[in-house]
Amino acid sequence: MWVAESAAQRIAECDAASGAIIRRVSVSGPPLALTIGRDGRLFVAVAEPRGRIAVIRDGAVAAEFPCGHTPSALALTPDGNRLVVAERFDGQVAVLDARDGRVLSRQPAIREPVALALTPDGATAVVVNLLPVGRADGDDLGCSVSLIDVNAAQPPRTIRLPNGSTGAQGVALSPDGAFAYVTHLVARYQQPATQLERGWMNTNAVSVIDLSHAALVATVLLDDPESGAANPWAVAVSPDGAWLVVTHTGSQEISLIDRPALHRRLAEPGVAARAVDDLRLIASLRRRLPAEVEGPRTLLVTNGQIWVAGYFSDDLAVRPLPASRAEAPAPSRRIALGPANPVRDPVRLGEAAFNDARQCFQTWQSCASCHPGEARVDAVNWDLLNDGLGNPKNTKSLLNATRTPPSMWLGVRANATVAIRAGFTHVQYLTVDDRTAGVVEAYLASLAPVPSPRLETDANGQRRLSARAERGQAVFTAADCARCHRPPLYTDQRQHDVGLGTGPDVGKSFDTPSLIEAWRTAPYLHDGRAATIRDVLTDPAHPHGRAATLSPDDLDALILFVESL
Amino acid sequence: VIAIARQVLFLLIMSCSWQLVAAESLTLSDPDCAASFRNLASVAPEAWQRKPDSAAAQRACTALVAKLARSDQARAELAQWTTNAAQEPWLDRFATLWQQVRREQLATCPPIAFVTRRDGYGMGGAHAVMFAQKTGVGAAIMTWNPAQPDQAPRAIFTTATGFVWDLAPSSDGQTLLFTYKEAVDQPFHIWRIRRDGSGLKQLTSGRYHDFNPVFYPDGRIVFCSTRVEAYSMCQDYLASVLYTCDADGGDLRRVDFTTICTVAPAILPDGRIVCTRWEYQDKGLNTWEGLWTINPDGRRLQLYYGNTLIFPNARYGARPVPGTDEVLVTMTPHHHPPRGDIAVIDRKRGIENPLAMRKVTFETNIVPTVGKTWLDYMRHGDANKPNPWAVCDPWPLRDGVFLASFGRAPGNNQPGRNRLCLAHYDGTRFPLWDDGTTQAFYPVSLAATTPPRAIPGKAPIEAGDATVFVQDVYRGLEERGVQRGEVASLRVIRQQPKRWNTEGPRVFDHYPLVGAGTYYVKDNLGEVPVRADGSVHVTVPSNVELFFIALDKQGRELQRMGSVMQCTTGETVSCIGCHESRDSAPPAAARYTNPSGKPDRLTPPPWGTGAFDYVRHVQPVLDRNCVSCHAGRAPAAGMDLSGDKTRFFNMSFEALTERGVIDQTHRYQPARQKNDDFYGDIAKRAWVSYYFINQGPSGVFPAKGSGSYVSKLTRLIESGHGGKVNVPDQDRRALYAWIDSNANYYATWDLDRPHTAGGRDTWHRFNNGRITPEPWVDELRTAWNSANCTACHGAFGDDGRGWVWRSRNDVNLTRPENSRILNAHLARAAGGMGIGGNAAKDAPVPVFATTNDATYRAFLAAIEHGRDALRAKPSMDMPGAVAVPQERDFGKTFSK
C-alpha cells in the first residue's frame, strides 16, 4: 500500500497486512495523487504550479516528468504506456508517454479538473471539474464532467451536472466501464439561506453517468432529511461491482451503497428524475458509517476491504466490506502513518475545523462547502440573512480575508474575526468556542496565493508577468484602476457605490474586492453577474465598462494582467 | 412530626423489602419470562402447554441463547438437550435458560435510577393533561446497579405525602431532575438532586404545575409548565407548553406557543427538543398528538413524526436511541395515562408512514394506522381504552435494548403491579429488580453519555413580529390539483388560547361554546398576496399560534393548513411550499428576488378586524342579501336567516350549520343522536362545509375539497340563486371567510352564564350548584305536555345539558311570534307554514288553525317571557352582555 502524504511531501509504503511502514520516499512537492504501473513504477503527481510527475522505482525518485499547473489526478492506461494527468489550474488534461514523459496531447477540461478515471479500455478519461462556469445571477448553473478521448481523436464531450452542482471532488467507474459516479454538492442557492434542515442550503450527492450515452442518469442525494452527509469526496466501486463507497470528509463518514439496488431503484419510473431532490431515496440503499479517521478523503476498495485515509489524523482505517446491506458493519482497524501526537499546529487545526461539518447543525455543510478548493469559491450566489432577503451575493474567496477588512460584499462584518463567528452562528447554525474560531482564523491567515497560470516561467523556473501582461499593467495604471484596486492586494478596503446595486441593494456601496487570484474566482461582481473579467470590463452598466473603449489589444492586455495577479 | 414519622416508616418499609427475587422462583409463571417465551416462540406458554410443539419451544430456546447469551454456559446447556420429543420439559428448560441469560444481561446494564410509588401509576385521566390530576401518595427515588444485583437499591429521596412523576439524568449521570409535588393538592414543581442523594433543591415554584424536566446540553433545563395560563380545549384541565430556565430555575422563557398541551420533551443528538404536541386545528380530536421538534430558542417548530395517524392516538414521550437516528415512543390512548406499547420510530421511512413506527413490545393490540380517507376519524375503539397490561416509561440504552416499566394497571379488584425490565426489540425481557410488592417506574441510566449538541440562543420573551417566507406555494399544492396562478393570497389566522376552564356541560364539545365546528376563537389577521412566482414573504405576529389558508381570486379556500405553526420574535420561518413532501430538498426553481428586500404586510379584512365574529361580520351580509325572503313566520324554504336569537346562537347560524332547506328529517329522530356519525352527518348536509372536531378528519385537508370551495352555499351564491340575488364580492368574501374559519360564532371566550351548557345557555340558569330551567322553559314544557306534542315529537326532553338538538332553533327569543314551534303547524291562511302531520307515523297532528289556538297562545306567552328574560340578561352576542369571570387557578389539582 502506498500513501501520498501531501503535507509531508513524501510517499509512505506500508505493509497492507500488518500496517507496518516499510519505507518512505520524499518527493519535491506535495504529492496529490499516485498510481502504480505493472512494472512496479510508481507515478506521483507533485501538485505545484510547475507541475511534475515523479517516477519512483525501488524506493527512489528515478525521474520527474514536467507537466502543467498543479497536477491533481492521474491515471495509467491499462497497457501501461500512457499517463493521463489532470492539470488543475491550467484547466487541461495532458496525456504523457509513460516511458519518458513526453506530452502526447493536451485537451481542455472546463474548470479546475481535480479528479479523473479511465475507462477499462483506456480510451476515455472521465474528468471531474470542481466548479461551475458562468454568471451566477441566473437560474441555472452547475459544474461539469468532461469526457476526454485519450487518443485525442475526438474533441472532449461535456456532461453538465444538475442546477446548483458545485464542489465536485471524486469519480469512479463501474468495473465494466458502463457507469461513472461523481461526487459533488448540489447548492440550493435559489432561496434565502434561512435554515439548513432538509437540505435547504447545500445537499451532498453522487451523480450517476451512463458513459455509453455520455448522459446523466441521475443525481442521487446522500443526505438524510435531518442529517447531512457533508462534503462527499472520494468514491470507489468494489471490484465485484456490489458496492459504491463514498467518503464524506465533512460529516466524517463513509457511505456504503448497494450499487445493484441503486440501479434497480433508478430504473423505476420517475425515480431518476426526482432523485436530485429526494432525501429518502438513499435511506434503504446504503449504510452510513463513521469514518473513524479525521478528514476522510481518499479511498480504496479492494480485496474485500475498504481503506480510508484520514487527511487530518494521519492514518488509515481499514474495514471489511460487508457481505450484504443487512450485515452489521465490522469495526475498522487503524493504521497510524505518523506519530500519535495530537496535532497542535493552529493552522492545521483550523484547516480541519474549516472542513469539519460536525461544526454545523445536523452536519449539512462545512465552511468548505461554500468555500471549496482551499477556502476559495463555489462560484454560486447565496442570499444570506445579514443584508435582507432577495439580494443574493456571490461567494467571496477567503484568501487574504484576514488582511482586507471589512468582510462580506456590503462590509457588514467588521473583520474576519467577526465574520468567522457570524458564519458559524448564522450559516452553520451552531456556535463554536473561541479556540475553534481562532484556529480557523489562523488557517485563513495562512493561505497563500497560488501563482497565476497566466504567468510565464522564465529560464530559472521563476514565474513572472508576460510582456503582454506588463503592458496590461500599464493600462491598469493609466486607467486609474488602482484608485480602488490598490496594490499590493488590489483593494482600498472601502465601499463604493458605482451603480452596481440592484433590487434592495440599489444605491448601496460595495466593498472593493481584492484582485489577487482573480484568475480563479469567477464569476465577478457582488452578484456574480460577470462570467469573466472581460464581461466586467465591457459592461456599459457601470464604470468598469469604460474599459470597452480601450483598443482591443489594450483591453486584452489589461485582462491578462488582472488574470495574472 | 406525624408527617416525618410517616416518612420514616415508609422508608423503613421500603428498605426492608429490597431484595432480589430468588432466581429459582422465576418460572414461566413469571410474566416477563412468559412474555419472552411467547414473543420468541410465537405461542403463549398456556397455549403451548395445551398443545406442546417442541419445534416452537426449541426455536424460542435457541433464539434466546443465540441472540442474548454472553457466556458459554447457556449454550452448553442447550446443546445437551435432546430435541426429538414433544414431552421434553421445554417450558422449564426455557425458564432455566432465561434465568441464566438474565444474569448475563443484567451484568451489561448500567447503573440506574428509578421511581417507586405506593399507588402504582398513581395518576388518571388523559395523559396530555395528566399533570393536573389527582395523584397517588407516597414515592421514592432509588438508585441501583444491576451489575451488582445482590446489593439493594438505595433510596436517595422519599416522600410519604407527595408524589414523584418522572426523572431525568444529566449526561454525566451525576445529577437528576425530577417532577415532584410535596402534597397531593399542591402543584408539581421541578426539583434537583445529586445521584448520591445530596444537594436536594427545588428549582421552580409558584401556583403553577412545572413538570417533565430534561437537561439541555448547555446547562439549561427544558420543562413543561402551565405558566401560559390557558386551558385545554375540551375537558376541565390546564394547558401546558415548553419552557426553559437556567440551571437554578431562573430566567424562565416560554419556548412554544401551542394553545393546548406540549409534554414529555427530550433532546435529540443535534440539539433539537423533541416533544409530544397536541393540537386541534379543525381536525379529529383524538388523533392529534404527534411528535414535533423545536429549538430551545423557540425557532423551527417542525413535525417530527405522525400528524395524521389515527392509532396510536398519541405518540408519547420520544427518547432518542443512542447510536441511531431513531427514537422510542410510548403508543398510548388519548384518554388514559401514557401506558401502552413501546415502538421505535425510524423517521427516514416517512414522517406520516405508519410503517416507520414498529412495535418493540407486544402487550396491546395497538397497530399504527392512518385513515383510509382524509375524513376518517377515530371511533372510540380498543385503541382508546386503558390497557390492562401495558408498558410505560421507556429508556433506550442502545440500539435494540431499553429499560421500561411493564405491568398491570389496577382493575377488577386487583391492585396494579409494575416492575422494571431490561427489554429487547424482539420481545425478550428480563426483570431488573423486584421485591414482589413494590411498584417501580421511570428507569433511567446513570451511565455517562455523550451530550447532545447545544443549539445556541434563548427564546425571546417580548412578543413582536416575525417573517414567513414561502418559496413557492405551488410546491405541494400543484401536486394536489391546484393550478399555477390559482392562488391569489394567503390568509393568516391566529388561534386564541382558551381563557376559561371547562366548568359546565359542553355544547358541541365546547365550553365556552364558540361555534358549530372549531373549538377556537380565531383572529383573522388578514391576507397577503401570493406573487406570480408563487412566493410569499410576509410579516406576521410572533409568539402566537398561527395557521394559513390558501385562497383563490374569489376568496374561496383552496387549501387549509390543518395544523398550526409559530414564529418567535425576529425569526424568519421559511417553507418550500404548502404540503410539499417533507422528504424533499428545496427543488431548483427560479431565484427568489425581491425588489424591496422587505416582507409584505398583511391586509386586514375590510369587514372588520379582531376575532371572527358571526354577529358583526356575517349577519350583516345576510341582512343585506337574504332576510327579505328568509325571515318571518314562514321564511322561504323554511330557512330563517335573520339574526334573531336562538338558545345558543342566532337563527341564520342555526339554519346554515344545521338545518337544510329540504333536509329536516333528522330533527325528529332522537335515536340518531346516539349514532356516532350524528354530528358528522349534519356537517355533511349543512349549507356550509365545516368540521366538527369530535368526528373531525384525520388526514390532510384536500385541495379544493373543503370549506367554502365545496359548500352548497357557495354554489347557491355563485349561481345567483336562480336570478334572485347577486351577492356583492366583499359580502361573498366575508361569508367564505366565516365558512373557512370553521363555522365560528362567538368572538370571545367570555361567558355570561358560566356553568350552564356551553356557558351560554339562555334556557337555563345555574343556582347553588344546580342547573335549572328558566321559568319560561318550564312554562313551555307544561304547554308542550298538555298539548301532547310528545306523541309525535317525543318528550320535551331538555335536561339542561346542551345535548338536545331539537330545541336549538324552534324558539325565537328575539321575535317570539316568528318561532318555528308556533308557525310550523300554523295554517298557511293564518300566516304559518302549514306543515301537516307525519303520515308515516299515522298520528293526528294538531294544526293551529289560527293564532288564537290555546296551545299557540301558551307557547307564545312562554317564549315572550323568554324574550324578556334574555333582554334582562343579554348573552355575549348581544349588546350589554355582562361577562362573569370564573376561577383561574393554574396550579389546581383536579380530582376526577
Question: pLDDT of B836-891, one tens digit each?
Answer: 655 444 445 557 889 999 999 999 999 999 999 999 999 999 999 999 998 899 99
Name residue, grid cell 297532528: B845
Cell numbers given for B114: 428509578
List phi, psi (to 5°) of A444. Answer: -65, -40
pLDDT at A17: 84
* CB B580, CB B479: distance < 8 Å: yes
Q: What is the pLDDT of residues B468-488, one digit of tens each?
A: 999 899 999 999 999 999 999
Q: State the pLDDT at residue B84.
A: 56
Give yes or no for a contact between A30 and A6, defined as CB atoms under 8 angstroms apart. yes
Q: Find out whether the peptide bond into B312 is cis, omega within 30 degrees of 0.
A: yes
Of A138, A221, A392, the CB nearest to B585: A221
Pairing of strands B163-169, B221-225: unpaired
- Report the percent of chain B where pLDDT is more than 70: 89
Across chain B, mean pLDDT equals 87
Task: Give the gap in angstroms from C-alpha B55 to the nearest C-alpha of chain A.
Answer: 27
Looking at residue B678, what is its pLDDT? Answer: 44
Please check whether residue A331 touches B, CB under 8 A: no
Percent of all residues in chain A with a pLDDT value above 70, rounded to a whole number:
100
Query: What's B132's DSSP letter?
Result: G
pLDDT digits (tens, 9 = 90+) for B261-287: 999 999 999 999 999 998 888 877 767
The contacts found for A26-32 with CB under 8 angstroms, 24 or more apart, are A26/A61, A27/A54, A27/A56, A27/A61, A28/A52, A28/A54, A28/A61, A28/A64, A30/A6, A31/A4, A31/A5, A31/A6, A32/A4, A32/A6, A32/A70, A32/A71, A32/A72, A32/A73
User: How far is the C-alpha of B327 from the C-alpha of B346, rounded, in Å?
Assistant: 7
Q: What is the pLDDT of residue B24?
A: 37
What letter does residue B287 receive in the DSSP assignment?
S
B674 compared with B887, residue with greater pLDDT: B887
Strands B465-470 and B572-575: what pairing? parallel
Q: Report the C-alpha gap between B419 and B611 in whole angstroms.
A: 51
Residues of B in contact with A221 (CB under 8 A): 585
Instruction: Give the pLDDT confidence score for residue B17 in this predicted structure.
Output: 36
DSSP output for A18-30: T--EEEEEE-SS-
pLDDT at A165 over 60: yes
Q: pLDDT digit string (tens) for A58-103? A: 999 999 999 999 999 999 999 999 999 999 999 999 999 999 999 9
A476's enclosing H/E stretch is helix A467-478
- Give the one of A224, A389, A505 whose C-beta lies nearest to B537's C-beta: A389
Q: pLDDT value at position A158? A: 97
Give the per-residue pLDDT at B687: 86
What integer pLDDT is reported at residue B414 of this predicted model? 73
- Which of the 8 DSSP states describes residue B615? I
Residue A414 has pLDDT above 80, yes or no: yes
- Spell out which residues of chain B touch residue A383, defining contact as CB-CB under 8 Å: 592
**Short-list B604, B571, B537, CA closest to A504:** B537
Contact call for B300 and A227, based on CB within 8 A? no
Say what the pLDDT of residue B280 is: 80
Please determine, for residue A109, whether its predicted confidence score (pLDDT) is greater than 50: yes
Per-residue pLDDT at B254: 97
Q: B414-425, pLDDT tens digit by residue? A: 777 899 999 999
The helix-helix angle for B31-41 and B54-68 (nearest 10°) equals 100
Which residue of chain A comes nearest to B583, CA vs CA?
A: A279
Those of residues 460-499 in B touching chain A at CB distance below 8 A are 467, 469, 471
> Using the beta-carbon criterion (under 8 Å), do A430 and B325 form an inter-chain contact?
no
Question: How remote is the C-alpha of A227 from its chain's centroid?
Answer: 22
Helix, strand or coil for residue B672? Answer: helix
Chain B CB contacts of A216 below 8 Å: none
Q: Which tens digit of pLDDT belongs to each residue from B389-401?
A: 899 999 999 999 9
* DSSP run (H or E) holding B369: strand B369-370
Average of per-residue pLDDT across A176-193 = 95
What pLDDT is attached to residue B51?
86
List the one residue out of B811, B110, B228 whose CA is nearest residue B545: B228
Of B348, B574, B584, the CB nearest to A192: B574
Asked if pLDDT for residue B28 goes beyond 70, the answer is no
Question: Residue B592 is nearest to which of A190, A227, A431, comparing CB atoms?
Answer: A190
SS3 content of chain A, % helix, strand, coil (to 5): 20, 35, 45
Query: For residue B352, is it left (φ>0), alpha (ψ between -120 and 50) or beta?
Result: alpha
Residue B86: pLDDT over 60? no
Contact A504 B590 (CB under 8 A): no
To test the contact with chain A by mutation, choose from B301, B302, B574 the residue with the greatest count of A C-beta atoms within 10 A, namely B574
Distance CA A251, CA A366 (A): 8
Confidence of residue B380 (pLDDT cuts 50, 70, 90): low
Task: Indicate the pLDDT class of residue B685, thresholds 50, 70 and 90.
Answer: low
- Find chain B residues with C-beta within 8 A of A227's C-beta: 270, 325
Cβ(B361)–Cβ(B427) under 8 Å? yes
| Mean pLDDT, residues B130-144 taken together | 93
pLDDT tens readout for residues A263-313: 999 999 999 999 999 999 999 999 999 999 999 999 999 878 999 999 999
pLDDT surpasses 50 at B832:
yes
What mean pLDDT do residues A223-233 have? 95
Predicted pLDDT of residue B896 = 60
Confidence check: pLDDT of B663 > 60: no
In B816-875, the residues whose Cβ lies within 8 Å of chain A are none
Q: Say how far residue B613 (Cα) sits from the centre of its chain.
A: 25
The helix/strand/coil state of B869 is helix
Which pLDDT band, with edges at 50, 70 and 90, does B677 fall under? very low
Tell me the per-residue pLDDT of B758-813, one tens digit each, with 9 for 90 and over. 999 999 999 988 999 999 999 999 998 898 887 777 777 665 544 444 456 789 99
What is the model's pLDDT at position B179? 97
Residue by residue, DSSP assigns B32-69 as HHHHHHHHHHSS-HHHHHHS--HHHHHHHHHHHHHHH-
- Pick from B83-87, B201-205, B817-821 the range whose average pLDDT is largest: B201-205
Residue A238 contacts B where some CB pair is shorter than 8 Å: no
CA-nearest residue to A290 within chain B is B323
Give the strands of the sheet with A10-14, arranged side by side.
Answer: A2-5, A10-14, A21-26
Q: Please say if the pLDDT value at position B14 is more than 50.
A: no
* Cβ–Cβ below 8 Å for A280 and B583: yes
Task: Please name the residue that has the C-alpha cell 341564520.
Answer: B652
| Residue B752 pLDDT exceeds 70 | yes
**Residues constituting chain A:** 565
Distance (Å, whole) CA B749 – CA A250: 53
| Crossing angle of the two packed helices A434-446 and A346-354, in degrees rounded to 10 | 100
Examine the pLDDT at A514 and tell me if it is beyond 80: yes
Q: Do A279 and B583 touch (CB under 8 A)?
A: yes
Helices then strands (H, E): number in chain B? 16, 35
Contacts of A139 in chain B (CB under 8 A): 588-591
Burial class (CB in 10 A: 0-12, 13-18, 19+), B609: exposed
Q: How long a stretch of residues is chain B?
A: 896
- Region B80-84 average pLDDT: 67
- Is the CB of A423 inside 8 Å of chain B's CB atoms? no
The residue of A140, A255, A277 whose CB has the most chain B CBs within 10 angstroms, and thus the best one to mutate to test that interface, is: A277
Phi, psi of B549 (to 5 degrees): -130, 130
Contacts of B534 in chain A (CB under 8 A): none
Average pLDDT across chain A, whole number: 94
Q: Return the residue of B nearest to A163 by Cα.
A: B588
Query: Which among B455, B574, B585 has the least Cβ separation from residue A194?
Result: B574
Query: What span, in angstroms and rounded, lies between the C-alpha atoms of B503 and A88?
Result: 77
Q: Between these two residues, B506 and B166, which has the higher pLDDT value?
A: B166
Q: Cell numbers of A416, please?
A: 474576519
- Residue B702 C-alpha from the chain's centroid: 22
Cell numbers describing residue A12: 509512505
> Which residues lie across from B248 on neighbouring strands?
none
